[in-house]
């Protein structure tokens, strides 16, 4: 039997084919080296933005709009960080400062991530008060949460 599809049906089939290919690729695991590179870039950017908060808040009359942008970036990173450590992207996959303990002590690692994601919003809130002292003290609190994780889960720079 020869099946004939109408023009409408043909375009619907074309769309469905495209969608299922998109779904396939979206599910395809990213290569560990790419994950490591992306993670490195995320932290590099986080470091830059966090440093910007520190530098800007040294002024007694800081640029609050710029501060808000950087603080928002820090908050976003604290939300996104959960995506940065898929299994298989540790030291076994190449050069990284992410220690194996991240995957062998998941509860502790999640607690370290939570400390950061709990504190990051307080920095943004402080910026919105436009009180530079509040920004400075929230910066210290958030900074302690970065250090808390680095001390246990990041290898020293080589």
- What x-and-dash track marks residues 55-94 binding ligand HEC by CB under 6 A? -------------------x--------------------
Q: Give CA torsion, residues 138, 117, 28, 33, to 10 deg.
A: 50
- 132/142 with CB nearer ligand HEC: 142
Q: How far apart are CA 5 and CA 3, in angstroms?
A: 7
Rule CB under 6 A: choose which of 29, 47, 88, 94 binds ligand HEC: 47
* Least distance from ligand HEC to the Cβ atom of residue 115, Å: 7
98 CB-contact burial (10 Å; exposed 0-12 / middle 13-18 / buried 19+): buried
CB 101 within 8 Å of CB 153? yes
Rule CB under 6 A: choose which of 46, 75, 124, 135 binds ligand HEC: 46
Show contacts with ligand HEC in window 85-144 (CB under 6 A).
96-98, 112-113, 116, 142
């Amino acid at each position: 039997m020869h099946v004939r599809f109408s023009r409408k049906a043909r375009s619907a089939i074309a769309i469905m084919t495209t969608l299922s290919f998109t779904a396939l690729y979206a599910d395809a695991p990213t290569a560990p080296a790419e994950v490591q590179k992306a993670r490195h870039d995320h932290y590099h950017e986080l470091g830059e933005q966090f440093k910007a908060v520190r530098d800007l808040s040294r002024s007694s009359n800081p640029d609050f709009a710029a501060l808000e942008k950087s603080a928002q970036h820090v908050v976003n990173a604290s939300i996104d960080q959960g995506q940065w450590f898929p299994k298989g992207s540790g030291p076994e996959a190449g050069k990284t400062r992410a220690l194996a303990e991240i995957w062998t002590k998941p509860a502790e690692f999640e607690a370290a991530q939570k400390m950061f994601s709990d504190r990051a919003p307080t920095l943004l809130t402080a910026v919105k008060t436009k009180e530079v002292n509040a920004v400075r003290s929230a910066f210290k609190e958030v900074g302690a949460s970065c250090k808390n994780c680095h001390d246990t889960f990041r290898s020293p720079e080589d």
